[in-house]
Amino acid sequence: MNEKIKKYKLLNIKLTPQRLAILDYLEGNRMHPSVEQIYKHVSRRFPSMSYATVYNVVNTLVKHKVVKELSIDPDKKRFDPDMHTHHHMVCIKCKKIMDIDIDYSLHVPEQVLEGFTLMGNHIEFYGICAQCRGKDKD
């Protein structure tokens, strides 16, 4: 049995052909797709698949910690299959999200924490990507 399939079976995720297609699309995907983008891609292969199915599958994957839900884009949720700790750079014009694989150490003073136990952090950098800057010059 394929290692990927074993992993999902251990998580008790029912593996239908549609779910496998969504998992295949997400695996290694660094574009941080929305449900709409996932649906557009996977529905080419499964035209009868509904938007709700994709939404439900992605929510199941989030629940099982297979993908992260990003709240970077206020217009739509985006999803990241890269579960290791990393940060993001976001273009404020085209909403492109890029991974930053550099570890930033942040010290939060005890008086600011007020007894809060930190479990991690996520930093978002905002700017204008090279493509959008190029369009502005035209």
**CATH code for the domain of 102:** 3.30.1490.190
The answer on 115 and 48 residing in a single domain is no
Mind listing the pLDDT tens digit for each residue in 39-88? 999 999 999 999 999 999 999 999 988 899 998 888 889 999 999 989 99
Same domain, 76 and 99: no
Q: Which residues pair with 91 in a beta bridge?
A: 127
Res 1 pLDDT > 60: no
In terms of domains, do 62 and 126 share one? no
- At 94 the pLDDT is 92
Q: Please provide the average confidence, as pLDDT, over all residues in the chain.
A: 89
Count structural domains, the chain.
2
Q: How far, CA to CA in Å, does 138 sit from each of 48, 62, 93, 127?
A: 42, 41, 15, 19
Q: pTM of the prediction?
A: 0.81
Domain encompassing residue 131? 87-137
Mean pLDDT of 87-94: 94
